Structure 1
Amino acid sequence: MRRRLLQSLVPMVVVLAIIAAVPLANYIATGQSRTLFLSRSNDADWFATMAESPLQSGDIATLRELAVRYHELYATPVFVVDVDRRVIATSRSGVDVKEPDLKVALDSTLAGRLPAEPAALWPWRSGEMVVARPVVNNGRVLGAAVLRVPTEKARDQVERGLLLLLGGLLISIGAVVVGIVRPVTRWVLRPLNDLDNATHQVTRGALDTRVSTDGRAPELRRLGDSFNSMALSLHQARQREREFVADASHQLRTPLTSARIHIEGLSRLSPTARFALSDIDRLGRIVQRLSRLAGSDRPGDIESSNEAPLDLAQAVKERLVGWKAVYAADDLELVIGEMVPGGVAPELEVDDILDVLLDNASKYGAPPVEVSVVRDGTEVVLSVRDHGLGLGSRDLKKVGERFWRSAHHREMPGTGLGLAIVRSEAARVGGRVVARPPVGGGLVIEVRVPLIDDYED
C-alpha cells in the first residue's frame, strides 16, 4: 500500500516540479538571448551612426576598416548595405543578403522599423543572431548596419544554467519526497499499519488485541470497528473452546478415578482387568493433556526427565500388534514399512499419537495404510499414509487446528481434536506435524520429533 501511494504521489511531485521548471528554463534562455541582443544592439547603433556619412559621400574605406577591426576584436562579422541592399562595406566577403534570416531583418530595418528580438537561445539550436539597425539621415533611411553575432558562448551559458536548474530540480524533488511525501504517506497509512500489526498479534494468539478508532476517517473507523468485532468473536470462541475442554476433562476425572478404583479390585482376580486398568491410565493421561491443551495456546517446553531415550520404532511396533487385529477385523490392510531405530524424548506419548493417526486413516482414508519410522537428519519421522481422497492445498494448511474438519468428512463422527492433540503432543517434545500429498494419491501425516544424539541402537 505504501509503495502504491508513493508511486502515485512521487509522479505528481515530479510533474509539478517540471511545470514550475519550464518557465524558469525559458527565463534563463530568453534572458541570455536578450542580454546578448541588447549588448550588440548598441554596437549596431554605433555602426549605423558611423555609416551615415560614408553612405552619402561614397567614401567607405574608413567604414570598411572599422568593420574589419571590430570583427577581429569581437569575432563578429559586420556589413553595411544601402537602401537597395547592396553591400557597401563588410568585414568579410561572401555576404548573401538573400539568406532568410538576413532578408527578414533587412526588410524590417530598411522599412524604418526595428527588428523583433530573436528567439530564445536553446543549447540544441545553432546559428548566428542577426542584429540590424537603420542608417537614417533627416528621417530618410539610407541603408542598414548589420551584425552577425555568434551565439556559441551564450548557448554554453544557457546550457550551464539549465544543468544547474535540473540539479536544483532533482534536489528539490528529493527534498519534497523525503521531507513531505514520505511523512504524509506514513501519516496516511498509520491506521492501516496499526491494523496490520494488530492482525499479526491476533495471528500469534493475542486475541485480546484491539485497534483504536478515535480520530480516524469514517472508512477506517468502520474497518477498525469490524476488526475489533472479529477479534472479540474469536476471543469469545476461544474462551468457549477452553471452557468446553476444561469442563470435559474435569467431568471425566471423577468417573475415571472411580472406574480405576473398581478395576484395581478386579485386577487381583482377573488378568483381563489389568489390561483395562492400563487403558484407564491412558484415558487419565489424555484428560491431563486436554487440560494442558485448554490452558495454553503455545506448547510448552520439553519436560525434564532422567529416563532413557525412547526407541520410537520399537514403541510403534509394540503398539501395532493390537492395531493389526483391529484392522484385520474390519478387513483393512495395515502395512508395516521401514522401522529404523531412533531415540526420542521419553515423554512422547507414542500410543496416543499412533492411535489417532491409525484411527483417522481407517475412518477417513482407504487401505492399504502404511506405517514407517525413519531418520531424516536430526529428526525421527513417524509416517502414516493412506490411499484415500487426500486433502486440498488449503485443507493441508489447517491440519491440526482444534475442532477443524475437512468438508468431505463433516458428516462422519468425530470431534476434530485428534490431530490437534497429536500436534500438541509432538510440540511438547520439540517436534512438529506435517501433512502432505504423496505421489500416487492419498495423505501422509508425518510426526517429526528431534533425534536424541546420544541414543545407541
Structure 2
Amino acid sequence: MRRRLLQSLVPMVIILAVVAAVPLANYIATSTSRTLFLSRSNDADWFATMAESPLQSGDIASLRELAVRYHQLYATPVFVVDVDRRVIATSRSGVDVKEPDLKVALDSTLAGRLPAEPAALWPWRSGEMVVARPVVNNGRVLGAAVLRVPTEKGRDQVERGLLLLVGGLLIAIGAVVIGIVRPITRWVLRPLNDLDNATHQITRGALDTRVSTDGRAPELRRLGDSFNSMALSLHQARQREREFVADASHQLRTPLTSARIHIEGLSRLSPTARFALSDIDRLGRIVQRLSRLAGADRPGIEAEGSEAPLDLAQAVKERLVGWKAVYAADDLELIIGEMVPGGVAPELEVDDILDVLLDNAAKYGAPPVEVSVLRDGTEVVMAVRDHGLGLGSRDLKKVGERFWRSAHHREMPGTGLGLAIVRSEAARVGGRVVARPPIGGGLVIEVRVPLIDDYED
C-alpha cells in the first residue's frame, strides 16, 4: 500500500518542485548578477569622477596609471573615452568601441543615461559584464568610464547556488512525501508512538527514560532493546562528562591560583605582567563557569548566586595597561579618555571586545586612538575612536556583519569576523554595537550595554 501511494505521489511532487525551482533559479542568477553589477558600478563612478579633470585639461597620464593599477589589482580591464568615443586612457590595448555590447553601453552612457542592468549570469554563458558611467561636468557629458568585468566567479557562485537549490528541492521532496504518507500509515505504526515519546523525553534531558518491550512484535522488541541500550549509553556518557568537567575545574584552580600569585608579584615591576594577570583572571572566571555548569546539570544542586555587577570603566582601564605597551612598541599613540564608572553584566567579555576594537584601530585606522567609557541614559558606552579614513554611509550599515570587510581594507590580512564577534558578545548581555563618523574625521565604534541600576560607584 505504501509503495503504491509513493508511486503515484512522488512524480506529482517532483513536477511541482520543478515548477517552483524555475523562478528560484532565475532569482539566484539575477541576484548574483545585480550584486556584481552594483559593486563594480561604485568603482566605475569613482573612475568617472577621477576622469572629469583629465578630460578637460588633456593631462591623462595619471588617469592611465590609475587604470593600469586597477586592472592589476582587480583583474578588471578599464578604459575612458571622450564624447567622440575616442579611447583616452586604457589599462590594456586593443579596445574596440564598436563591439556590440560596448556600443550599446556607450550609446546610453554618452547620452547621459545609465545603462540597463546586464542579463542574469548563468553557468553555461560566458563573456564579460560591461559597466559604464558617464563623466559629467555641470550637466554636460564629457565622456564615459567603462569596466569590462570578468564573470567567472559570479557564474561559479550561481552554479553553487543552483546546486544548493537542487539539494534543497530533493530534501523538500523527501519531507513532503514523508509528511503525506505519515498520517496514512500512523495507525499501522501506533506501537512506535511510545518510542517516539521516549525519544522526545531524552532530547529534553531525561536520559533515564526507557521503553517497554513486553508484548511487542519481535521487530519492535528488538528496536526497543536497542533504544534502551542507546539511552543507557547516553546517560553514562553524560555522567562521565559531568564528572570530567567538575574534576577538571577543580584541578585547574590550584595551578591558576599559584600562577596568579607569581604573576602578581611580577606585575609590580612590569606593565606587561599586569596584562598577563588580567588573562589569568579571565581564565579563572572560565573555570568558575565550568564548575557552575557541572553543578547546575546535577539534580539537587543549585547554581551559585549571580555575580556582582562589573565596573566597565575599571575593567577597560586594567586592560589598557597592556595595550599601551603594545601600542608604544609600534610607535602608536593610545589615549585614555574619560572613564565614567558604570555597572554592567558580569558575563560581558570586556577583554575580548576591547582586544578586537584596539587591534582593528591599529590595523585599519590611524593614531591617535582614544578609548573612553561614558554613561548615556540607561546605557554604558565603551567607545574606541581612531583618526583614519573612516567608512562611508553604506559601509557603516554593514559594520558587524560576518565576513564583511571595507573595500579599502580587503588587501589587508583579516577574516572579517572581529566586529561580528563584538556584536555577538554585546548582544549576549542585551547590548548593541554602533559605528559612526565623529567630528574631525575617523571612526568611532561604540559598544552600548545596559546599565545595571543597583550598581554603586
Shorter-chain TM-score: which interval?
0.3 to 0.5
User: Does the C-alpha gap of structure 1 residues 268 and 201 become closer, same or farther in structure 2, counting only changes over 3 Å?
Assistant: same
Shift of 1:282: 107
Shift of 1:370: 120
Deviates more, 1:80-89 or 1:416-425: 416-425
Shift of 1:23: 2.1
Shift of 1:6: 2.8
Q: Does the residue aligned with 1:336 lie in a helix, a strand or coil?
A: strand
Shift of 1:246: 84
Shift of 1:125: 0.9
Contact 1:260 1:280 in 2 (8 A): yes
Contact 2:342 2:375 in 1 (8 A): yes
Deviates more, 1:299-308 or 1:167-176: 299-308
Deviates more, 1:353-362 or 1:203-212: 353-362
| Count of equivalent residues | 457
Contact 1:109 1:133 in 2 (8 A): yes
**Runs (5+) with no aligned partner, structure 2:** none
Describe the superposition over 1:72-97 as per-residue Cα deviations: whole angstroms up to 9, x where unpaired: 00000000011111111000000011
User: Does the C-alpha gap of structure 1 residues 412 and 225 become closer, same or farther in structure 2, counting only changes over 3 Å?
Assistant: farther
User: Does the C-alpha gap of structure 1 residues 6 and 102 become closer, same or farther in structure 2, counting only changes over 3 Å?
Assistant: same
User: Does the C-alpha gap of structure 1 residues 251 and 365 become closer, same or farther in structure 2, counting only changes over 3 Å?
Assistant: farther
Scaled by the length of structure 2, the TM-score of the pair is 0.40
Counterparts of 2:58 and 2:363 in 1: how far apart (Å)?
125
Contact 1:6 1:182 in 2 (8 A): no
Contact 1:390 1:443 in 2 (8 A): yes
User: Does the C-alpha gap of structure 1 residues 321 and 193 become closer, same or farther in structure 2, counting only changes over 3 Å?
Assistant: farther
Shift of 1:179: 2.8
Counterparts of 1:38 and 1:269 in 2: how far apart (Å)?
56
Counterparts of 1:407 and 1:66 in 2: how far apart (Å)?
16
Contact 1:357 1:384 in 2 (8 A): yes
Describe the superposition over 1:268-323 as per-residue Cα deviations: whole angstroms up to 9, x where unpaired: 99999999999999999999999999999999999999999999999999999999
Contact 1:365 1:389 in 2 (8 A): yes
Contact 1:10 1:181 in 2 (8 A): no
Q: Does the residue aligned with 1:307 lie in a helix, a strand or coil?
A: coil
**Runs (5+) with no aligned partner, structure 1:** none
Deviates more, 1:75-84 or 1:220-229: 220-229
Counterparts of 2:163 and 2:25 in 1: how far apart (Å)?
10
Shift of 1:52: 0.8
Contact 2:367 2:388 in 1 (8 A): yes
Contact 1:301 1:429 in 2 (8 A): no
User: Does the C-alpha gap of structure 1 residues 54 and 190 become closer, same or farther in structure 2, counting only changes over 3 Å?
Assistant: same
Shift of 1:30: 1.2
Q: 1:113 — aligned with what?
A: 113
Contact 2:79 2:90 in 1 (8 A): yes
Deviates more, 1:228-237 or 1:268-277: 268-277
Counterparts of 2:95 and 2:177 in 1: how far apart (Å)?
56
Counterparts of 2:234 and 2:320 in 1: how far apart (Å)?
39
Describe the superposition over 1:205-228 as per-residue Cα deviations: whole angstroms up to 9, x where unpaired: 999999999999999999999999
Shift of 1:7: 2.8
User: Does the C-alpha gap of structure 1 residues 224 and 7 become closer, same or farther in structure 2, counting only changes over 3 Å?
Assistant: farther
Deviates more, 1:321-330 or 1:67-76: 321-330
Counterparts of 1:267 and 1:43 in 2: how far apart (Å)?
51
Describe the superposition over 1:52-82 as per-residue Cα deviations: whole angstroms up to 9, x where unpaired: 1111111111100000000000000000011
Shift of 1:358: 113
Contact 2:2 2:181 in 1 (8 A): no
Deviates more, 1:343-352 or 1:92-101: 343-352
Contact 2:385 2:442 in 1 (8 A): yes
User: Does the C-alpha gap of structure 1 residues 269 and 136 become closer, same or farther in structure 2, counting only changes over 3 Å?
Assistant: closer
Contact 2:274 2:322 in 1 (8 A): no
Shift of 1:149: 0.4
Computed over aligned residues only, the root mean square deviation of the Cα atoms, in angstroms, reads 32.5
User: Does the C-alpha gap of structure 1 residues 38 and 12 become closer, same or farther in structure 2, counting only changes over 3 Å?
Assistant: same
User: Does the C-alpha gap of structure 1 residues 96 and 294 become closer, same or farther in structure 2, counting only changes over 3 Å?
Assistant: closer
Deviates more, 1:199-208 or 1:312-321: 312-321
User: Does the C-alpha gap of structure 1 residues 115 and 258 become closer, same or farther in structure 2, counting only changes over 3 Å?
Assistant: closer
Describe the superposition over 1:83-116 as per-residue Cα deviations: whole angstroms up to 9, x where unpaired: 1111110000000111111111011001110001
Q: 2:343 — aligned with what?
A: 343
User: Does the C-alpha gap of structure 1 residues 113 and 339 become closer, same or farther in structure 2, counting only changes over 3 Å?
Assistant: closer
Q: Does the residue aligned with 1:187 lie in a helix, a strand or coil?
A: coil
User: Does the C-alpha gap of structure 1 residues 424 and 86 become closer, same or farther in structure 2, counting only changes over 3 Å?
Assistant: closer
Contact 1:311 1:342 in 2 (8 A): yes
Counterparts of 1:359 and 1:143 in 2: how far apart (Å)?
43
Contact 1:2 1:189 in 2 (8 A): no
Scaled by the length of structure 1, the TM-score of the pair is 0.40
Contact 1:365 1:386 in 2 (8 A): yes
Q: Does the residue aligned with 2:371 lie in a helix, a strand or coil?
A: strand
Contact 1:403 1:415 in 2 (8 A): yes
Q: Does the residue aligned with 1:232 lie in a helix, a strand or coil?
A: helix
Counterparts of 2:452 and 2:21 in 1: how far apart (Å)?
72
Counterparts of 2:273 and 2:136 in 1: how far apart (Å)?
139
Counterparts of 1:47 and 1:385 in 2: how far apart (Å)?
30
Contact 2:275 2:321 in 1 (8 A): no
Q: 1:85 — aligned with what?
A: 85
Shift of 1:11: 1.4
User: Does the C-alpha gap of structure 1 residues 216 and 125 become closer, same or farther in structure 2, counting only changes over 3 Å?
Assistant: farther
User: Does the C-alpha gap of structure 1 residues 52 and 177 become closer, same or farther in structure 2, counting only changes over 3 Å?
Assistant: same
Contact 2:391 2:437 in 1 (8 A): yes
User: Does the C-alpha gap of structure 1 residues 91 and 51 become closer, same or farther in structure 2, counting only changes over 3 Å?
Assistant: same
Contact 2:311 2:342 in 1 (8 A): yes
User: Does the C-alpha gap of structure 1 residues 446 and 232 become closer, same or farther in structure 2, counting only changes over 3 Å?
Assistant: farther
User: Does the C-alpha gap of structure 1 residues 224 and 446 become closer, same or farther in structure 2, counting only changes over 3 Å?
Assistant: farther
Contact 1:267 1:274 in 2 (8 A): yes
Deviates more, 1:239-248 or 1:90-99: 239-248
Deviates more, 1:358-367 or 1:66-75: 358-367
Shift of 1:160: 1.0
Deviates more, 1:64-73 or 1:380-389: 380-389
Counterparts of 1:54 and 1:62 in 2: how far apart (Å)?
8
Q: Percent identity?
A: 94
User: Does the C-alpha gap of structure 1 residues 60 and 246 become closer, same or farther in structure 2, counting only changes over 3 Å?
Assistant: closer
Counterparts of 2:391 and 2:81 in 1: how far apart (Å)?
99
Q: Does the residue aligned with 2:122 lie in a helix, a strand or coil?
A: coil
Contact 1:208 1:235 in 2 (8 A): yes
User: Does the C-alpha gap of structure 1 residues 357 and 105 become closer, same or farther in structure 2, counting only changes over 3 Å?
Assistant: closer
Shift of 1:423: 88
User: Does the C-alpha gap of structure 1 residues 437 and 293 become closer, same or farther in structure 2, counting only changes over 3 Å?
Assistant: farther
Contact 2:384 2:446 in 1 (8 A): yes
Contact 1:345 1:452 in 2 (8 A): yes
Contact 1:313 1:342 in 2 (8 A): yes
